[in-house]
Amino acid sequence: MATQNKLWAGGGAGGLDPEVEGFLSSLAVDSRLLVEDITGSIAHARMLGKTGILDPESAQALVSALDGLLAEAKADRLVVDPASEDVHSYVENELTARLGDAGRAVHAGRSRNDQVALDLRLWLRSANESIRGALLVSLGAVLDLASRHTGTLMPGYTHLQRAQPITFAHHLLAWAAALERDYGRFADADERADECPLGSGALAGSSLPLDRDMVARELGFARPSRNSMDTVGDRDAATEFAFACSMLATHLSRWGEEICLWAGAEYGFVGLSTSISTGSSIMPQKRNPDPAELVRGKAGRVYGDLLNLLTMQKGLPLAYDRDLQEDKEAVFDAYDTAFGSLRAFAALVRGLEPRVDRMREAAGGGFAWATDAAELLVTKGVPFRTAYGLGKALVEACRAKGLEDVALLSVEDLAAVHPLFGEIGAAALAERFSPATCVAARDLPGGPAPGRTRAEIARLRAFVAAELGVAGKP
C-alpha cells in the first residue's frame, strides 16, 4: 500500500482540518476514472522518455509499472486506497510505492489540472461510444416494430384529440427521427471534445520540451487543445454531453407517456408483455407500465445534472477553480440515467403488443376525413379557405343526422353542402375518405403512405448498419 501524500505541498505543520480534508476529497467519485488516469499517464510517460525529459530506462520503468496497474484495474484487482485524496494521487503514490523515487518522476510537465481535464475527456469518449451504440440498438428495435405495421391504421393526434389517420409505422418513425437526431447530437459533442488537454499544465503549459502532438496521437485525439488556459477551466465537453443526454431523456419521456396512454383501457392500442410490465400488490388483474413511467420520470434527474453543470461554471474566472471538481458526479449521473433509460426503452419497444383492430377502429372516428374533404374540393378549383369551410359544413351535416359515416348522407344532403359533393356521390366519397385511402393519398416525403414509410425504414436500416460498421440490423 502506498503512502498517501498529497500532490500539493502543505503549508503548516498541523495539516488540514479533518473535516476540510474529507470535504475536499473527490475519490468517491473520481475513482471511476482509474483506467483513464492510468491510460493518460502511460502516454505521458512514453512522451517523457522520447523527448529526453526522462532517461529511457526510467521512462520504460514507469510505462511497465503503469501497464501492470492498467491490467489490474481492468481486471478489477486494483483496490484504490480510500485514504487517497483523489484517483490521481492514488496512481502516483502507487507508482512510488512500487518503483521508489522513479515513480515520483511521472508528474513532470503536467498539473493535476490538465490531468483531470484529460481523464474526463477520455471517459466522455468512452461514454459517448456506449450511448451511441445503445441508440442504434433502440433505433433498430423501433424499426423492427415499424416494419411489421406499415399498413396498420391508427389515429394521429394533435392536442390529444384525434386529428387525421396515419399508420402505426408512421408514428414509430417519428420516434426514429428523434433518435437519429439524438445520435447526431452525441456525434457532434464527441467531435468538439476531440482535443487532448495534457501539456496545458496548471494554466500556462510547461517550460519542459513536451511533445503534445505525440501524446494526442497516443491517446487517439485529433489534436492538442488550442489554449492551455481555456483547457483547464473548460467543461464544455461535459456540459454538451449532459445536454445531449437531456434531449434524449426528453424524447424517451414523451414516448414513455405515449406508451402509458396506449396501454390504458381508454386507448387500448397496445398490450404489455409480462417482460415490460408489473403487477399490483393488491389488484390481481392489473398490469402496470412501470418501466415506461420510470423512463418518463427520470428525465427530471438528467435535467438537474445539466443545470448543475451550467450553474457551476457560470461565474468562474479563468483558469481552474476547485468548483470544477463537481463536474464528474453530474456528468456520470447524466450518463448512467440516460443510458439506463435508453436500454429500458429498447426493451419496452420489443415488449409492446399492438392491438391492430383497436387502432384501425379508432382511425375511422372523429371525422378524421374532414381535411381530405377540403383538399378534394381544392383539386376541383375551390380556394382552400372556402374549401375548409365546406369541409366543416360537411362534418356538421353528418352531426346533424347523428352520423360519422358520410356514406349514409343522401345526395340532397351532399349537394346542399356543395354541388360537387352531390355529383361525386356518397359511396365514392366514403371510399375517398376511408382511413386507408386518406393515408395512401399522403404519398409525400415524410408522409404516412406505406411506400414512404417502407422507404424510410430502409434508409434508417442502412444508417444503423453503416454506423455499426456491419451489414444488417442490430
Residue the block writes with cell 475536499: 24
Candidates 166, 194, 350; CA nearest to 272 is 350
CB neighbours of 474 closer than 8 A, spacing ≥ 6? 136, 137, 139, 140, 464, 468
Which residue's C-alpha cell is 372556402?
A: 386
Bridging pattern class, strands 195-196 and 223-224? parallel
Handedness of CA 441, 444, 446, 449 (dihedral sign): positive
Q: Are residues 417 and 423 in contact, defined by beta-carbon separation less than 8 angstroms?
A: no
Phi–psi pair at 327, nearest 5 degrees? -70, -40
Distance of CA 348 to the CA centre of its chain: 16
The verdict on whether 280 is a catalytic residue reads yes
DSSP assignment string, 128-162? HHHHHHHHHHHHHHHHHHHHT-TT-EEEEEETTEE
Question: Which of these, 299, 191, 309, lies nearest to 248 by C-alpha position?
Answer: 299
Helices (H), 2-111: 18-24, 27-30, 34-50, 56-74, 87-99
And the C-alpha cell for 329? Answer: 458526479
Distance separating alpha carbons of residues 441 and 241, to the nearest angstrom: 41
**41 has catalytic annotation:** no
**One of 126, 130, 275, 280 is an active-site residue; which one?**
280
For the beta carbon of residue 351, count every other beta carbon within 10 angstroms: 19
What cell does 116 get? 483531470
Q: No. of H helices and E strands in the chain? A: 20, 6
Residues noted as catalytic: 159, 280
